[in-house]
């Protein structure tokens, strides 16, 4: 609130100007939020499919002997590290997929979409784990691009619910 005082000889006027609070913004339609959730769901599916294709391609290359580094095949240790990295990202993506599915189920069953804020918080927490893993840059530019698109959709949804977005 801002108070301005104007003095005129013999007259004292106080003008009060109220700032419009964020809560007074026009309400967001449930259909709009539903579309944002669909974008996140589609992004999770696209990300998962890409990682599956990437894993299948790596397995095919490994079994055909095409994965050679400086004339040698990958060692068992290198294979174990690659598998561990894939498992970490796959586990985190599985958790994100579950939290997104839970959000969808609860969202569809409510009349007031804001009732699902807790589910969005859980989804964002799961996304932050992936964000940390992808940010390390171990997965390449294609994964980073797919994740950036998904993260943007998740951040848009978070902002709709009044939650803090994920950092880049």
The per-residue pLDDT for range 27-60, each reduced to its tens digit, is 899 999 999 999 999 999 999 999 888 876 665 5
Q: Is residue 168 part of a domain?
A: yes
> Is the predicted pLDDT of residue 82 greater than 80, yes or no?
no
- What pTM was computed for the model? 0.72
In a domain, 150, yes or no: yes
Q: Is residue 131 in a domain?
A: yes
pLDDT computed for residue 20 by the predictor: 43
Residue 69 domain flag: no
Give me the domain span that covers residue 147: 42-58+77-168
Q: How deeply is 31 buried, as exposed, middle or buried, from its count of CB atoms within 10 A (0-12, 13-18, 19+)?
A: exposed
- For residues 114 and 103, is the Cβ–Cβ distance under 8 A? no
The answer to the question of residue 8 being in a domain is no
Which residues does 164 contact at the CB level (< 8 Å), separation at least 6?
124, 158
Cα separation of 59 and 105, whole Å? 35
User: Chain-wide mean pLDDT for the chain?
Assistant: 81
How many domains are contained in the chain? 1
Could you tell me which residues are beta bridge partners of residue 136? none
Q: Which of 153, 154, 150, 151 is nearest to 45 (CA)?
A: 150
């Amino acid at each position: 609130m801002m108070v301005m005082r104007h003095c005129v000889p013999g007259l004292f006027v106080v003008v009060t100007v109220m700032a419009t609070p964020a809560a007074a913004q026009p309400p967001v339609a449930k259909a709009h939020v539903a579309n944002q959730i669909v974008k996140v769901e589609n992004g999770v599916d696209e990300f998962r499919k890409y990682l599956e294709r990437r894993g299948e391609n790596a397995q095919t290359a490994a079994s055909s002997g095409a994965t050679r580094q400086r004339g040698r095949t990958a060692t068992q240790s290198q294979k174990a590290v690659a598998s561990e990295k894939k498992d970490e990202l796959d586990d985190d993506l599985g958790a994100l997929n579950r939290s997104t599915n839970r959000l969808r189920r609860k969202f569809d069953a409510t009349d007031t979409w804001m009732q699902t804020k807790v589910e969005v918080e859980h989804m964002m927490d799961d996304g932050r784990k992936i964000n940390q893993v992808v940010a390390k840059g171990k997965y390449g530019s294609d994964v980073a691009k797919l994740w950036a698109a998904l993260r943007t959709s998740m951040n848009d949804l978070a902002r709709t619910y009044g939650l803090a977005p994920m950092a880049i």
